[in-house]
């Protein structure tokens, strides 16, 4: 099979028939063998009824229906598990992603040997202040942290080699950083294509401004897991050791000043009345706690069944 089209959706009943017809037309025009996988993320409208009707008319339609809303990452995870095509295309169900982009995305994967191609909606029709400007700031930060030079990392329209989606795991709200997950898994040929952004025809956006806050937190989580996930002591142990040493030096300095004053019979504050003494003790305690956190992290990693989970490209 050439292509699997994975479409996560939530309350998009009106757009589904139009999207399906559009995808089918593109596939037939280019003689692709294909499947369309709809992931109904706990919709409360008639989306599932519409999907079942589409399935009755087209055997290439497959679908998964969640009992409740789990989020886009969960939907994509299940879609990736089910996908069988050599190239996997993801797109949103709101008709803002154009299926006409599929043939070129497929060509870039097959002929130019990209592992992943991400869409870039260079010209957007979203609200400038609530989406465009925050999106630009978010993507600038993501480029700086991940080292992946994509203009729109969170674009829903993407193409993947099958082996990419079978070797990455989505969780929480990490769908925003699939290119970073792919890079961390060793898939470094990541490309970008300018794609058409269309105005929403039905319904309203399901994402609020809080996605940018969550996005930054998730980015920091991924960065930490990638850099220190298998060696937490390198992070917590280093910071803890530095804090303990600084605190210990502060206590020694305060004690030495007190002893010097006593030796020279001069007035001096009680050691316990000096704020630097308490700050030094606090720093030492925090340093010990961080060091122990790193130590416990190492013990957990050593007993994890994934401690030697390495991705192998091929064997001869």
Q: Which of 225, 230, 220, 210 is nearest to 145 (CA)?
A: 220
- Kindly report the pTM of this predicted structure: 0.75
CA distance 64 to 175: 18
- The predicted pLDDT at position 276 comes to 82
The Cα–Cα gap between 175 and 215 comes to 10
Write down the pLDDT at residue 40: 95
Strand-pair partners of 6: 37, 90
Q: Which two tokens stand for residue 149?
A: 């030079």
Q: What is the distance between the alpha carbons of residues 119 and 197, in angstroms, rounded to a whole number?
A: 10
pLDDT of res. 169: 83
SS3 per-residue string spanning the chain: CCEEEEEEECCCCCCHHHHHHHHHHHHHHCCCCEEEEEEECCCCCCHHHHHHHHHHHCCCEEEEECCCCCCHHHHHHHHHHHCCCCEEEECCCCCCECHHHHHHHHHHHHCCCCCEEEEECCCCCCCHHHHHHHHHHHHHHHHHHHCCCCCCCCCCCEEEEHHHHCCCCCCCCHHHHHHHHHHHCCCCCEEEEECCECCCCCCCCCCCCHHHHHHHHHHHHHHHHHHHCCCCHHHHHHHHHHHHHHHHHHHHHHHHHHHHHHHCCCCCCCHHHCHHHHHHHHHHHHHHHHHHHHHHHHHHHHCCCCCCCCCCCCCC
pLDDT at 201: 66
CB 117 within 8 A of CB 89: no
Beta strand 87-90 pairing with 158-161: antiparallel
Report d(CA 230, CA 187) in Å as an integer. 19
Q: What is the model's pLDDT at position 310? A: 53
**Which backbone phi and psi does 121 adopt, to 5 degrees?**
-80, 85
CA distance 285 to 247: 9
pLDDT tens across 210-258, in order? 666 677 777 777 777 777 777 888 888 889 999 999 999 988 888 888 7
Strands 190-194, 3-9: pairing is unpaired
Phi (first) and psi of residue 96, to 5 degrees: -80, -15
- Please tell me the predicted confidence (pLDDT) of residue 98: 93
User: Is the Cβ–Cβ distance between 138 and 161 less than 8 Å?
Assistant: no
Residue ranges of the chain with per-residue pLDDT less than 50: 316
């Amino acid at each position: 099979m050439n292509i699997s089209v994975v479409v996560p959706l939530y309350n998009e009943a009106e757009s589904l028939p139009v999207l399906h017809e559009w995808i089918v037309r593109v596939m037939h025009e280019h003689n692709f063998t294909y499947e369309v996988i709809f992931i109904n993320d706990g919709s409360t409208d008639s989306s599932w009824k519409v999907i079942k009707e589409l399935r009755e008319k087209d055997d290439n339609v497959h679908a998964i229906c969640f009992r409740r809303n789990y989020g886009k990452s969960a939907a994509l995870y299940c879609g990736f598990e089910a996908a069988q095509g050599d190239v996997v295309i993801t797109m949103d169900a709101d008709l803002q992603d154009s299926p006409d982009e599929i043939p070129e995305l497929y060509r870039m994967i097959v002929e130019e040997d990209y592992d992943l191609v991400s869409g870039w909606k260079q010209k957007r029709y979203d609200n400038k202040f609530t989406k465009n400007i925050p999106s630009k700031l978010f993507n600038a930060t993501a480029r700086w942290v991940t080292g992946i030079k994509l203009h729109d990392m969170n674009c829903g329209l993407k193409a993947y080699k099958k082996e990419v989606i079978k070797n990455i795991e989505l969780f929480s709200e990490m769908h925003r950083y699939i290119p970073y997950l792919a890079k961390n898994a060793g898939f470094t040929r990541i490309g970008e294509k300018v794609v058409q952004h269309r105005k929403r025809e039905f319904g309203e956006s399901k994402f609020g401004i809080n996605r940018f806050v969550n996005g930054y937190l998730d980015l920091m989580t991924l960065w930490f897991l990638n850099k220190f996930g298998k060696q937490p002591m390198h992070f917590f142990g280093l910071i803890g050791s530095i804090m303990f040493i600084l605190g210990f030096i502060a206590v020694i300095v305060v004690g030495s000043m007190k002893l010097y004053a006593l030796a020279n019979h001069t007035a001096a504050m009680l050691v316990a009345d000096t704020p630097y003494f308490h700050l030094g003790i606090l720093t030492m305690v925090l340093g010990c706690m961080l060091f122990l956190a790193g130590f416990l992290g190492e013990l957990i990693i050593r007993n994890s069944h994934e401690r030697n989970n390495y991705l192998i490209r091929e064997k001869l």
